[in-house]
Structure 1
Amino acid sequence: MDRNDDDRVNGRLHGDQPEAGKDGMAMRLLYMVIIAIMLSLSQTVLTLITVIQFVIMLVNTGQRNQRLADFGTDLGIWMAKAARYQSAASEVKPWPWTDLD
């Protein structure tokens, strides 16, 4: 990733966030369980795209698939936002409750 990509990703993670109201503890628990399931699924998806990207690079003499690389970046950002909500570092719920940006 070059410097501009680092700045773009940093802005998506730590930039302006939408206003989020505080949920009650029961609702937060429900959201946390749902997000935990989604995080588990996202780890499986990340493993799959890792294997697919490796095979593509093996066949194409090291050339990566840019769409898969971009999807991996987006998935990683979503996972980071989900982890921030899970750990109570943020009140902003990740997609699908907010825009994927």
Structure 2
Amino acid sequence: MAKDQDAPDHDADFENIWLRLVNMVIIAVLMSMASTLLGLMMVAQFLIMLLSNREPNEQLAEMGTTMGVWMAKAARYQTAASEVKPWPWTELD
């Protein structure tokens, strides 16, 4: 039986869906680590503010913003709202 030239390549789709699963598992582990790091940063920022008359550390605040953007991109990929993978596959911005 000859293969139809216009038919979609189901083998490639099947392989791509399993590769997506691998990426999703890696991102889930990274998100878990990011959540832990965010908690540590929160405690550190609170202590800094407690000791510095309510002045936050600018670097920690910026890192929190960057992490928030990354987590949003990761969540969009995880839920198939986007095909764009977060860092480390793309630029961190």
TM score, norm. by length of structure 2: 0.83
Residue 24 of structure 1 deviates from its aligned partner by: 0.9
Of the candidates 42, 46, 57, which is equivalent to residue 50 of structure 1? 42
Q: Relative contact order: is structure 1 or structure 2 higher (C-alpha 8 Å, sep ≥ 6)?
A: 1
Residue 77 (structure 1) aligns with: 69
Cα distance in structure 1, aligned partners of 2:24 and 2:63: 24
1:40 alignment partner AA: S
Larger Rg: 2
**1:86 aligned onto 2:87:** no
Runs of 4+ in 1 over 2 A off after TM superposition: none
Identity %: 56
Residue 86 of structure 1 deviates from its aligned partner by: 0.1
- Unaligned 5+ segments in structure 2 are 1-12
Residue 55 of structure 1 deviates from its aligned partner by: 0.1
Of the candidates 29, 53, 65, which is equivalent to residue 37 of structure 1? 29
Cα distance in structure 2, aligned partners of 1:76 and 1:99: 15
**1:59 aligned onto 2:43:** no
Residue 88 (structure 2) aligns with: 96
1:62 alignment partner AA: R
Residue 44 of structure 1 deviates from its aligned partner by: 0.3
> How many residues matched?
80
Residue 84 of structure 1 deviates from its aligned partner by: 0.3
TM score, norm. by length of structure 1: 0.77
Q: Matched residue of 1:91: which SS?
A: coil
